[in-house]
Amino acid sequence: GAVVSQHPSWVICKSGTSVKIECRSLDFQATTMFWYRQFPKQSLMLMATSNEGSKATYEQGVEKDKFLINHASLTLSTLTVTSAHPEDSSFYICSASRVSGGAYNEQFFGPGTRLTVL
């Protein structure tokens, strides 16, 4: 159990276009979903936290108007990169958390989406 999917797994787009990435928890209801980005050979940087039915909470330095997050249900969150530019090229990874029977929310990661903006 605890499978998280992402779609698409990779996308190439032209500068100025918008790209939507979907994150789904397939066999559990996620209390919270998270969006990370990772540059080559670097760590995962948390971009935002989203809870179903409420606005996402963005980390400092992340433009909320550029990275639109919608959390429509307990199993689906979407990240839209608006007016993408080459510097937005990165590996975007979502994770979904569920209560793990203690003071800890276990996180399960999706397979990631590699975005290349030309």
C-alpha 58 chain-centroid distance: 12
8 binds another protein per the rule CB under 8 A: no
80 binds another protein per the rule CB under 8 A: no
Q: How many residues bind another protein (CB under 8 A)?
A: 22
Contacting residue, 45, 62, 68, 76, with another protein by CB under 8 A: 45
User: Which residue type, as a one-letter code, is found at position 21?
Assistant: I
Please state, as a whole number, how many other Cβ atoms lie within 10 Å of the Cβ of residue 29: 11
34 binds another protein per the rule CB under 8 A: yes
Nearest-approach distance from CB 32 to another protein, in angstroms: 5
C-alpha 17 chain-centroid distance: 18
Closest to another protein by CB, 75 or 97: 97
Q: Can you tell me which residue has the tokens 């939507």?
A: 20
Is there a contact between 27 and 10 (Cβ–Cβ < 8 Å)?
no
Contacting residue, 31, 70, 80, 82, with another protein by CB under 8 A: 31
101 binds another protein per the rule CB under 8 A: no
- What's the half-sphere exposure (Cβ side, CA atoms, 13 Å) at 35? 31
Question: Which residues bind to another protein, rule: CB under 8 A?
Answer: 31-32, 34, 42-46, 49, 93, 97, 102-112
